[in-house]
Structure 1
């Protein structure tokens, strides 16, 4: 399944078959290297929150699991983000920018790889965020991020969506080798990307944005 450049694509994070967030992105390219998409500033997004409008980082993990939840819409307030999903990998690479649109750092999101779906009028990918991340710069410096959050959630395997801790760390170490060697995509590729100013910013999610999560089995 290949997605044509220019199409609106829904990037969805999922947990045990629930939707944790929906981000409407635009396909930049889709080839043997992987899928590249753009999330524009002020795009409408959906995010899972508790009924009293708190997020998972606002409380201990067991409280989050037990709380009633709903998806609410809001806007992506930060600068636009370029996101790359390498083919066959269990991570994505986000190219963070400042308010002027200049590249600042790489953000490696360790995740159970993207599963694609195409409903005709709407396309998307479903991933499972594994919480542990890596932040890196062009000069090949890097650091782990969210280790404490990852450890906290691993203590509740009956509720957590990460079944294999070792696999997550192994994927991270594999990415770190690429960072340290300055290999693609950590070689400056796409750091000068500028979106087409004519692209409309999504003001609403398309019908079908909440379709059932794709099964991985």
Structure 2
């Protein structure tokens, strides 16, 4: 597929068993041989799957979540802005987290299975499967696992969970940890001081087509 043009809005979407469960519109910073670099601004319109009573997947046991009624809920991104990097041929993305003063505070390795890029014209995006296990790395490159308990809880329900290969997820995490400990790209200071184009407007609504079916073809 043709690279996404810098400045274009693309949708970073989480998919679970062919359902769209999360949508974040991001601006393209760059799209090249290294991968796709995105900007999610504070205050952006987003969508997230919630239970009928307004609770999220982390607010209840997974056994309750998978048996209850759920729907996509449009909301606003309340956290600080995030730079998201999706490396080529990797099963993770790297998020550059900021504090309320917009200063870099940590790398967040989001372990995820890439599905596909898609481009419908008015709307375009990337679909991934969030694998729940994550890594948080401080600026000094000390690191810790995150959400191991959630990962284990969900793996105990293989007929309901969207992650089929536990070992592959852990292995991908350890590959990222090797880069973190060695201070290799993208954990070498690149993009930690990124500033967005001041002309980029914060999306106040999701574009038509944001809820299109999950992309069927997996990324190469």
Match of 1:46 in 2: 47
- CA-CA distance at 1:148 after TM superposition: 0.3
Match of 2:167 in 1: 166
Match of 1:100 in 2: 101
- Whole-Å Cα distance in 1 between the matches of residues 157 and 11 of structure 2? 29
Are positions 1:194 and 2:198 aligned together? Answer: no
Task: Please list, as runs of the form range in 1=range in 2, the aligned pairs for 1:24-63 lying within 5 A after superposition.
Answer: 24-63=25-64
Q: Deviations over 1:8-66 (max 9, x none)?
A: 00000010011111001000000000000000000010000011111011111010000
Task: Please list, as runs of the form range in 1=range in 2, the aligned pairs for 1:65-76 lying within 5 A after superposition.
Answer: 65-76=66-77
- Whole-Å Cα distance in 2 between the matches of residues 45 and 120 of structure 1? 20
SS in 1 for 2:58: helix
What TM-score does the superposition give when structure 2 sets the normalisation length? 0.97
- CA-CA distance at 1:139 after TM superposition: 1.3
- Whole-Å Cα distance in 2 between the matches of residues 75 and 185 of structure 1? 28
Structure 1 gap ranges (5+)? none
> In the alignment, is the contact (CA less than 8 A) between 1:14 and 1:129 conserved in 2?
yes
The CA RMSD measured in Å over matched residues stands at: 0.8
SS in 1 for 2:64: helix
Structure 2 gap ranges (5+)? none
> In the alignment, is the contact (CA less than 8 A) between 2:115 and 2:216 conserved in 1?
no
Match of 1:127 in 2: 128
- Whole-Å Cα distance in 2 between the matches of residues 39 and 115 of structure 1? 20
How many residues are paired up? 217
What TM-score does the superposition give when structure 1 sets the normalisation length? 0.98
Match of 1:113 in 2: 114
> In the alignment, is the contact (CA less than 8 A) between 1:138 and 1:187 conserved in 2?
no
- Whole-Å Cα distance in 2 between the matches of residues 114 and 123 of structure 1? 14
- Whole-Å Cα distance in 1 between the matches of residues 18 and 97 of structure 2? 28
